[in-house]
């Protein structure tokens, strides 16, 4: 799934290319991909000029000069491809935005978990109330985490991926940040000391900023708006690796249905600090 660095990369690239252009039409090719809030019986014939493009967690937010906001979530495998009208349409095209310069923003999604929401309001976004803090915001501190994780017995990794606590972190960067901070992914979230939380916040910021600098991580489906891959996959330390940078074998846990990669040597924790998980499977 595209996480914060991938979505941020797409936002920055689109800002430089389509702000100031108008959205003439949104064509839904796969039913259920595009929805309107509130439910619209009068779909606009002209949406308006794009005033700004921002990111909130894993969402892209297009604010138009009209009362319309277009919100895109890429799901597990979604891609946004900016193309001229003469270019070949993507294989798994689910929707497309027609722009005023005769170009198209294609929404390609092989697994069909992504969606586009057209919100007819410039007010709070429909998902805002359930979103946590941005990990690159100044307010994301060890004190904030300590407050949100206090008395929580769930595994730390699970809560880092909880978008109501921290918005934008997914499986790849959760694994990478925990390795850098030398914290076991199954430690009880509420048991961490302030020094560990400070280190974790520092490493979360660092890995996200580095990944943004390399235009995100392409493991399988993620592509930039020009259909090129990201580059941070070449700098991962544990995710889908057989050994960590120090040469220790990587182990894999299943946590909340996701594969967690970690180094049992570098991320060693007392047995009493850990949550019971499914048996570890050593990667080959």
| Token representation of residue 183 | 């914290």
- Is 128 within 8 Å of 137 (Cβ atoms)? no
Dump the DSSP string for 18-60: HTT-EEEEEEESSTTSEEEES--SS--S--EEEEEEEEETTEE
Structure tokens at 31: 């039913």
The closest alpha carbon to 127, from 72, 80, 194, belongs to 72
E strands, 85-119, where? 93-99, 103-109, 115-119
Q: What is the CA radius of gyration of the chain?
A: 20
Euclidean distance between CA atoms 114 and 8, whole angstroms = 17
Q: Which residues are annotated as catalytic?
A: 2-3, 58, 258
Which residues share a beta bridge with 35? 117
Say if residues 223 and 229 touch (Cβ distance below 8 Å).
yes
């Amino acid at each position: 799934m595209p996480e914060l660095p991938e979505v941020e990369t797409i936002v920055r690239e689109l800002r430089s290319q389509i702000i100031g252009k108008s959205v003439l039409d949104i064509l839904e090719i796969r039913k259920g991909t595009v929805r309107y809030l509130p439910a619209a019986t009068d779909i606009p014939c002209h949406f308006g000029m794009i005033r700004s493009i921002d990111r909130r967690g894993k969402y892209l937010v297009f604010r138009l000069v009209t009362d319309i906001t277009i919100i895109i979530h890429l799901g597990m495998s979604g891609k946004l491809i900016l193309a001229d009208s003469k270019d070949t349409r993507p294989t798994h095209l689910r929707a497309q935005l027609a722009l005023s310069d005769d170009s198209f923003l294609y929404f390609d999604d092989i697994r069909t978990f992504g969606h586009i929401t057209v919100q007819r309001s410039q007010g709070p976004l429909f998902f805002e109330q359930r979103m946590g803090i941005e990990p690159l915001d100044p307010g994301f501190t060890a004190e904030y985490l300590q407050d949100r994780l206090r008395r929580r017995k769930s595994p730390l990794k699970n809560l880092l991926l909880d978008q109501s606590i921290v918005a934008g972190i997914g499986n790849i960067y959760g694994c990478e940040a925990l390795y850098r901070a030398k914290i076991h992914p199954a430690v009880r979230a509420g048991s961490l000391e302030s020094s560990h939380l400070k280190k974790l916040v520092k490493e979360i910021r660092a890995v996200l900023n580095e990944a943004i600098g390399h235009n995100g991580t392409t493991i399988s489906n993620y592509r930039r708006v020009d259909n090129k891959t990201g580059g941070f996959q070449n700098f991962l330390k544990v995710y889908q690796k057989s050994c960590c940078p120090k040469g220790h074998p990587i182990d894999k846990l299943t946590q909340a249905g996701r594969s967690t990669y970690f180094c049992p040597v570098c991320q060693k924790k007392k047995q009493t600090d850990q949550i019971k998980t499914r048996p570890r499977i050593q990667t080959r």
